[in-house]
Structure 1
Amino acid sequence: MSRRRALTAAAAAGLGLPAGAAHAAASGPAPVIQPGVGPAGRGRSTNVRFATFNASLNRAVEGGLLADLETGQDPQIRAVAEVIQINNPDVLLINEFDYDAEHRAIDLFRRNYLEVGQNGRTPVHYHYVHTAPVNTGVPSGLDLNRDGTVGGPDDAWGFGLFPGQYGMVVLSRYPILTREVRTFQHLLWSSMPGNLIPESYYGTEIAAQLRLSSKSHWDVPIQIGTKKVHLLAAHPTPPSFDGPEDRNGRRNHDEIRLWADYLRPGKASRWIVDDSGTTGGLQPSESFVIAGDYNSDPTDGDSWPGAIDQLLEHPRVRDTKPASAGAVEAAQAQGGANSDHKGDPRYDTADFSDVPGPGNIRVDYVLPSKDLQAVASAVYWPKAGEAGSELTGTYPFPTSDHRLVRVDLQIRGL
């Protein structure tokens, strides 16, 4: 693996420093930012594109993603990079990006894939990065799946074959205020008032030790001109792969509820404690964008009732309902579970198995606060035969079974 720029990403991710200075030596000067596309200046407004993409950049063995990133030729990663280049987000959350403590993976992803034009696309540059440890694959030392043994992916704090599998990363063209980032990796599920822990399944001793977040929850403040926007990033567990106790469905609901409570001042958010010991939620005056794969559809699938509605119907949240024509076409062509869905297929963001399985559903979200003006939104799901449709095929899919979701917001730098 190349180590020439390994410290660049580590500095950006761990210290909140722009990667631009060291980065420029490796890849040339930073791109010119045009009005309405990049950083907002004082006294004017600009459109900023926020996006989320569960890119399936996870591998079955620790170090597998690093090996694929180093080559610069992995076809799936190239396709992921091309999707990002086509959509050109200014702030991007990637779910399912395996974490490594030295942050080499994200550095390689930028240098070998994003900053190289894929199939003639324009390269993209992100000088600010945030990533951090997650609960997936981290041994709990407890028998969480109640099979009489301790160890393995089901007994990790979050399901994973190794620590950091299915991690997250934030890429931004705007400064990330890393010293203000709040993480909630260690927040106890039992600390949530009225939680849905199936204590009869886990037992009192284990229930008291469970972590709420299956990966992590991050509040990542981003400075856009004079405006600070909090990116609230997460990836709750799928509400499946359990038994009649519905432990994953319950956890998914409460992982989503964490952000719903975080947006409520006073008593409702007083129980929330971040990993540095600071309590409480986000102030009512603060702007935010909730982003990520929340593994919950408002009408279909097997979520706990009302799970994602905790955000979609929250008084501070705006749902722009990103849509695509490709999702409608796919639901009609694939049939199966899709034929029984109650929700409008144009809002689907994931192409899951139809028989058996939940079919295509809406699980990926970019939800801005109501004080931010939404200009446009979309799910990147081209119809068959359209340009880019080769990047979003069904299994074996060239990128992911999820689609990139984007929302353009008008941000005024006053």
Structure 2
Amino acid sequence: MGLRALALALLLAGPAAADPLRIATWDPGLSRDGPGLLLRDIMARDPQVVAAAQVIAHAAPDAILLTGLDWDLDNRALTAFAGLLAEQGHAMPHHHATQSNRGMATGVDLDGDGRAGQPRDAQGYGAFTGQAGLAVLSRLSIAGVTDHSATLWRDLPGHRMPGSPHADIQRLSSTAHWDVALDTPAGPLHLLALAATPPAFEDRNPARNHDEVTFWLTHLPDAPFAILGNLNVDPQDGDGDPATLAALAAVTQDPRPRGAWQPPQTGPNAGQRGDPALDTAEYDRAPGNLRLDYVLPAKGLSVLASGVVWPAPDDPLAEAVALASHRRLVWVDLDLK
């Protein structure tokens, strides 16, 4: 085997048995105002798209859940973005994405405002099918995926769903719930993925956020797992119900990933109760920066390290991080031996 072929084989190979596995989640801002526009921007090497690829390549995860990437029927945008990642030196040849509930038309007036066919009348908020969907990219092969996204909200045990004339069609997932099994040298690792609705904007959303996040408590695999994604609830600040995260604490551990730098705690951040080093979302309006994105390994798994990619302004990576998204990438290193 030549040197170039050997280098490519090493790049594409999954981690060795003794290596830790880096699992990550991030909303990279790869959503646009209409179908096909993301693919256009990827092919044109739009600076924001390139910045997103640079941030992921810097973090170098073995698997990452992207919680804001437009879906298309043939996964052309996802495939093209994976190619851009390879150009940045971090090949992730295995990926999964299917149609999410965002923008999926229902044909009824779900939000009760007297008009059907609006973004809030879709199964999950969205102006078009697949807007800001989920995607998994991985260096490890994917053994299988169980998709729970079609589960009706009313069918969740102990749900908080308010009364609705459309309970027979209203799904729980505002985006998706996937159980993605990764092939690792130590056996399967299940990524329990989601992007929950924010607990704001609509009267039904606080209840839906709680039920989306706690859904996995009734669907845990009999194997090592990590719950990850955009949970859209901060344990101390914002509109979310802290009891939502407390419920997950019964089966997971929180590595409390920290960023290297935090903006000054002034303006909308003044008076916040949470540790700013844990924040993963930057807002220039009330309630300020929040911790919304999580990787929560199952109890008993060995966590080696964790972090939030939030560099100081003078860091060479800071420009790409700021350009890509107002969210920050979260990673956790696991030892599965």
- TM-score over 0.5 (shorter chain): yes
Q: Residue 107 in 1 paired to residue 79 in 2?
A: yes
Change (3 A) 1:76 1:182: same
Q: Residue 403 in 1 paired to residue 332 in 2?
A: no
2:97 to 89, 112, 131: 131
User: What is the SS of the residue equivalent to 1:309?
Assistant: helix
Deviations 1:292-350 (A, max 9, x none): 11111011110134122222x22x211100001312xx142xx2231121111110011
2:61 to 74, 85, 89: 89
CA distance in 2, matches of 1:65, 1:93: 18
1:192 to 156, 161, 186: 156
Change (3 A) 1:56 1:344: same
CA contact (8 A) 1:158 1:213 kept: yes
Question: What does 1:1-400 align with in structure 2 at a 5 Å threshold?
Answer: 30-32=8-10, 38-41=14-17, 45-71=18-44, 73-111=45-83, 113-117=84-88, 123-178=89-144, 181-199=145-163, 203=164, 205-242=165-202, 246-263=203-220, 282-283=221-222, 286-311=223-248, 313-314=249-250, 316-327=251-262, 330-332=263-265, 335-354=266-285, 357-393=286-322, 398-400=323-325
Deviations 1:264-303 (A, max 9, x none): xxxxxxxxxxxxxxxxxx22xx100111111110111101
CA distance in 1, matches of 2:225, 2:8: 27
Read off the aligned partner of 1:40 and give its amino acid letter: A
CA distance in 2, matches of 1:131, 1:289: 18
Q: Which runs of 5+ in 2 are unaligned?
A: none
CA distance in 2, matches of 1:76, 1:239: 28
Q: Which runs of 5+ in 1 are unaligned?
A: 1-26, 118-122, 264-281
CA contact (8 A) 2:11 2:90 kept: no
Read off the aligned partner of 1:196 and give its amino acid letter: R
CA distance in 1, matches of 2:241, 2:161: 13
CA distance in 1, matches of 2:310, 2:332: 14
CA distance in 2, matches of 1:362, 1:226: 31
Read off the aligned partner of 1:66 and give its amino acid letter: L
Read off the aligned partner of 2:236 and give its amino acid letter: T
Q: TM-score, normalised on structure 1?
A: 0.77
Aligned Cα root-mean-square deviation (Å): 1.8
Deviations 1:183-239 (A, max 9, x none): 11110100123211121xxx3x21332100001100000011141100111000111
Shift of 1:387: 2.3
Read off the aligned partner of 2:86 and give its amino acid letter: E
Shift of 1:392: 2.8
CA contact (8 A) 1:250 1:304 kept: no
Read off the aligned partner of 2:279 and give its amino acid letter: D
- Percent identity, aligned pairs only? 39
Deviations 1:68-96 (A, max 9, x none): 1122x200000000001111111111111
Count how many residue pairs are aligned between Structure 1 and Structure 2: 333
Change (3 A) 1:177 1:48: same
Read off the aligned partner of 1:379 and give its amino acid letter: V
User: What is the SS of the residue equivalent to 1:154?
Assistant: helix
CA distance in 2, matches of 1:353, 1:253: 25
CA distance in 2, matches of 1:187, 1:195: 12
User: Which 4+ residue blocks in structure 1 deviate beyond 6 angstroms?
Assistant: none
Change (3 A) 1:66 1:310: same
CA contact (8 A) 1:69 1:109 kept: yes
Aligned to 1:12: none
Aligned to 1:23: none
CA distance in 2, matches of 1:227, 1:331: 43
